[in-house]
Every structure is written in C-alpha cells, then in structure tokens.
C-alpha cells in the first residue's frame, strides 16, 4: 500500500526550510510521493542542473521567436505560444509578447533569476535575461559551483550564495544580492549597464512547480499563491497543526527585488482578479497546456512525465474551477464549481503531443458543458507550432 501524503510529509526532515510549503507545490509534491523523499533528495542537485538547462532552452526559443517577429516572418502569431521569460514560467502568445513586456518592464530590461536551495536557501545558480523593445536579445548565467557565487558583498563580507542563509528576511537578502549582481551584470553585458535591473529569487521546489503546472491558469494560480504565501500561511498554520510553523514564520517562496511597479500592483489583487488580469494580458484569456523542453534531462532525475500524465488522467480543472478553488495541503478543493475537467484526448490531442503544449479557445468567462476538438486552436510551441483551428470567415 503506497504511503499517505502525511506519511511522506513526516519523512522530510524538519530542518528543511521549504518543508511547510511542499504540500502546496502540487506537481513537485506528486513526484515526491511517487518516488519517496529520500530518492528525490538524492537527485536534488541533478534537478537543479536540469532546471538551469530548461531555462536556457526557453530563452533560446524566445530569441528565435523575437527574430521572426522583428522580420515580420512569423506566421499566425496569435496561435503561437512560448514562454514569456520575464518570468520564464509564464507563457505568452507571440502577438502579445512585446506589448506585455514593455507594459511591465519598459523598453530595456535585465532580470536575474536565482534558484535557492530548499534546505537552507543557498543560491544554486543565476540566469540573467535581457530584453530590448519587448523582445529577448541575450542572456548569461552562473552555473552551480561557479566562483562568481563566492563573490562577497562589499559591506557585509558575505558570499553571494550565502546571503539568504544569513539574512532571514528573503526580500532584504534579495536586495543585498542585487548589489553584487549589479556589478556582475555590468561586467557581463556592459552595453546594457544602464538598463532597468531587477532580481528574482525562487525556491527550487516553488519555481519548478511553476514551470510544470499543466496549464497557464494553474500556473497563474500558483504564482500568486507563492508570492503571497506569507499572507495565507498564518491561517493555514492555525487550521492544520502539522503546519503550525506557518502561523509565525510564513515567508514568500518566489519574488522580485525590487518589484516592477505594475507587476507588484497586479500581485496585490485578490487571486481570482489577478488570474483574470494576467490571463488577459498574456494569452487573451485562452487556456494553454504548458510544455517542458528539457523533458529528457528531467526524466533522468524525477518522474516529471509520469506525474503530468497522471494529472491529465485525473483531469485539469477548468479556468472557473481554478478561480474558485480552496487552498488546502496536498491538493486543492473545488466545492463551488463542479463543471467538467479537461482531458487532452477530449480535444483530439495525442499523448506524444500533450507535453509539447497546445492552445485552446477555452476562457474563464464562458460556461462549458463539455470540451471537444472544436476547442483546439494549435498544437506545439514556438516555431514548432502546428495550426489546427482556422479563423472563421
């Protein structure tokens, strides 16, 4: 008989910083439950490496699409979806890419994304993305073990990688790391030294959960919850005794420092309104099934494919179900909306295509009695998109 969620949770050491948040990272938790905590932990460093490889692949795709957009040679950009990159876990329709980036980040932007260890928040890697006029142009990264992670803060004397371990407040730690990374950014890319510069820190479990959510609506939901976990955590800690540490020590698990002002205001909206706003901005509210580019690399260290296919077997909640769900450890509850769940085969998508992404015309502002092939718009992502649904005459 497989272990229960609580039994798996109890097997995780209490000194693990991310332990009280793990029951809410639904995709990662499913993988942990499949293989057990000890096995997952043995492959943790390899999971870090696979994550960096995934982010590099997503940026390379974004640069390729940017070139097509600039030359005006991208066919049907309203049916082409790829990762937004800022951040690299949200998808965007190609025709909305430039406008959305310029609205949130301005004309010239640099953002460094940092992966923090689940054990103690030590920084594992840094990857920086640069955008001009809303389009991806170049990137650089600092791999695990690189000497640049040993660079010390001028005033604190603390190594970059160790700052989150020594400064309990995650935002304050991010601010101090930014001091160091600003110098590194200017050395790596002096041409853009005057560009706006933000940093983002994410716990590996929280960040990879973002990237592995089945659809953009699930992703919008978890992004909001991860940003605001310091707000809902105390109530959860009161409700569930085994999570009582959250009553007094709840923190955010992914965040920007400093926040781009418009993005910050969006995250302060109630969760359902945030989802509606960000969905409208990035995909015109269309539901998109997300994809993994480094599936081969991830499959060597964790059952990513198996977990995602299992979730599709159970059915992805509709946008309205996600808007109205109730937060609970080890899985969401949906007492308010009982409508149909989405299965990829309902739309005529084959198993070999499901993890490559597909775009639908399903939105949050419609009621659905069923889903079928009429809801499918395109299959795939980026320049590999296959067009299915033609515009009506």
Q: Locate the domains of the chain by residue range.
A: 5-283, 288-297+310-387
pLDDT value, residue 390: 56
Using the CB atoms, write b or e for 246-274: b if 16+ within 10 Å: beeebbbbbbbbebbeebeebbeeebbeb
pLDDT value, residue 138: 96
To 10 degrees, what angle do helices 271-283 and 97-105 make? 130
**pTM (global) more than 0.85:** yes
- 230 three-class SS: helix
- Work out the number of other CB atoms within 10 angstroms of the CB of residue 14: 8
- Work out the number of other CB atoms within 10 angstroms of the CB of residue 5: 15
Q: Which of 115, 258, 109 has the alpha carbon at shortest distance from 174?
A: 258
- Asked whether 88 and 113 are in contact (CB, 8 A), the reply is yes
For residue 359, CA distances in Å to 237, 311, 317, 348, 373 come to 38, 18, 16, 12, 12
- Report the distance separating Cα 32 and Cα 42, nearest Å: 12
Q: Which of 73, 75, 93 has the alpha carbon at shortest distance from 83?
A: 93
- 310 three-class SS: helix
- Report the distance separating Cα 182 and Cα 338, nearest Å: 49
- Report the distance separating Cα 190 and Cα 174, nearest Å: 22
pLDDT value, residue 1: 83
- Report the distance separating Cα 115 and Cα 59, nearest Å: 16
Low-confidence ranges of the chain (pLDDT < 50): 392-393
- Report the distance separating Cα 236 and Cα 327, nearest Å: 9
Given 3-state DSSP classes, what are the helix, strand and coil percentages for the chain, each rounded to the nearest 5?
Answer: 50, 15, 35
């Amino acid at each position: 008989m497989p272990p229960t969620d609580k039994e798996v949770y109890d097997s995780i050491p209490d000194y693990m910083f991310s332990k009280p948040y793990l029951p809410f990272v639904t995709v990662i938790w499913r993988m942990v439950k499949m293989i057990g905590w000890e096995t997952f932990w043995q492959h943790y460093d390899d999971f870090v490496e696979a994550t960096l490889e995934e982010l590099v692949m997503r940026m390379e795709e974004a640069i390729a699409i940017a070139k097509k957009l600039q030359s005006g040679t991208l066919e049907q950009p309203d049916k082409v979806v790829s990762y937004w990159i800022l951040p690299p876990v949200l998808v965007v329709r190609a025709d909305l890419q430039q406008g959305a980036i310029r609205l949130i980040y301005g004309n010239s932007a640099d953002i460094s994304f940092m992966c923090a260890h689940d054990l103690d928040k030590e920084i594992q890697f840094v990857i920086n993305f640069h955008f001009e006029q809303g389009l991806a142009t170049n990137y650089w990264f600092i791999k695990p073990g690189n000497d640049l992670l040993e660079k010390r803060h001028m005033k604190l004397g603390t190594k970059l990688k160790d700052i989150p371990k020594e400064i309990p407040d995650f935002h304050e730690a991010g601010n101090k790391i930014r001091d160091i990374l600003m110098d590194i950014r200017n050395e790596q890319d002096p041409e853009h030294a005057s560009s706006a510069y933000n940093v983002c820190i994410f716990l590996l479990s929280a960040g990879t959960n973002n990237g592995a959510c089945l659809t953009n609506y699930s992703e919008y939901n978890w992004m909001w919850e991860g940003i605001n976990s310091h707000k809902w955590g105390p109530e959860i800690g009161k409700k569930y005794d085994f999570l009582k540490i959250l009553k007094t020590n709840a923190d955010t698990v992914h965040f920007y420092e400093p926040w781009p002002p418009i993005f910050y205001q969006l995250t302060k909206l109630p969760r359902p309104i945030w989802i509606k706003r960000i969905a409208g901005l990035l995909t015109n509210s269309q539901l998109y099934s997300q994809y993994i580019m480094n599936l081969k690399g991830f499959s060597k260290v964790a059952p990513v494919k198996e977990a995602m296919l299992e979730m599709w077997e159970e059915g992805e909640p509709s946008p309205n179900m996600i808007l109205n769900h109730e937060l609970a450890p080890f899985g969401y509850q949906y007492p308010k909306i009982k409508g149909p769940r989405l299965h990829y085969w309902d739309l005529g998508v084959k198993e070999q295509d499901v993890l490559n992404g597909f775009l639908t015309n399903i939105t949050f502002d419609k009621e659905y009695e069923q889903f079928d092939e009429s809801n499918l718009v395109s299959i795939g992502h980026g320049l590999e998109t296959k067009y299915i649904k033609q515009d009506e005459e």
